[in-house]
Amino acid sequence: MTELHRLAARQQTSLADSCFDSWVTPSGAVRAEFHRIGDGFLLRFPGEADFEIFPDLDRVHSHPEPGLDPDYLESLYTNAVLPILGNHRGGLFLHGSAVAINGRAVAFLGLSRSGKTTLAAALAQQGHALLTEDVIELVRSGAAYELQPKSAALRLFPDSAAYLTGRAPPPDHDGLKQSIPAEAGLAYCAEPAPLSHLYLLGRDREAEFAIRPLGAAAALAEMLHHSFILDVEDRQRLNAHFCRIAELCESIPCSALDYPRRYSELPRVLDAIVRNSLGSGGNDAG
């Protein structure tokens, strides 16, 4: 277990060494920087918070920027820091959302704003129970994988929240994700569910609607973009993580999912996902 110590807020200052890795959004913004501090690490979210990770991974010190919402700090820790530490320890954590369709987990992996959480939320509104959003944790059991349930809430960007709830976003919203509790008409599953299908969302927001099966090699190449890695220079751990992802791709059906990111397209996309996941839709998305 990792113990989080919430320390006083402080302004981020320049660090002596440049980062050895970073997360960059599709728009080119730096989302996170990875720095070394002795044998430990400092994970910086520019303008938001620093997380100092001690070498044994048992302690993390958080230093939020002044004025940062405590709930947002907790979200950074839960949805970024803990999955990074989990993979470093040999677990299997991926960036995605998931629901249970007919008792079996269906997961969506994609970059930020690719639509994975909106798909999960819309399916949950239809009664397909939400398992997790933003972070997928898988536990292997023989040849199968159990997807672990997380928080019974969704965090959606204002436009998606408005579409799904039917309520306009507040006029003073800052464009950050809003929390939508499960009580807002969302089905939720509190028990692990066996993973049955992985969908990898394409990056072209205007692509034609299609669901295409992916071979293990193609799925592996895409899935590595959705991993949480602490130290990209630790070749031994990196190779072990690569092997875990490869085994997942060999064991679980994977499909590429493309569709125009317009809310009017959602009904037929959801219908095709359900039919495909139940094995009755074949590979025809139309």
Domain ranges in the chain? 3-88, 94-277
Name the 3-class secondary structure at 190: coil
Mean pLDDT of the chain: 88
List all residues 6 or more positions away from 216 whose beta carbon is below 8 Å from its beta carbon: 246, 249, 250, 254
Terminal C-alpha separation, the chain: 46
Question: Residue 3: its pLDDT value, please?
Answer: 92
Q: Which residue has the tokens 């295409």?
A: 212
Nearest to 30 by CA among 16, 17, 18: 18
List all residues 6 or more positions away from 208 whose beta carbon is below 8 Å from its beta carbon: 258, 259, 260
pLDDT tier at 192, thresholds 50, 70, 90: very high
Residue 220 to residue 247: CA distance in whole angstroms: 9
Class of domain 94-277: alpha beta
Helix (H) or strand (E) holding 224: none
Q: In the β-sheet with 49-53, what is the strand arrangement from edge to edge? A: 3-6, 59-64, 49-53, 40-45, 30-37, 21-24
- For 89-122, the pLDDT digits (tens) are 999 999 999 999 999 999 999 987 788 888 988 8
Entry pTM: 0.87
Percent of the chain with pLDDT over 70: 85
Is the pLDDT assigned to residue 286 strictly greater than 50? no
Residue 134 to residue 97: CA distance in whole angstroms: 5
Rg (Cα) of the chain, in Å, rounded? 19
Question: In this structure, what are the phi and psi dihedrals at residue 167, rounded to the nearest 5 degrees?
Answer: -115, 135
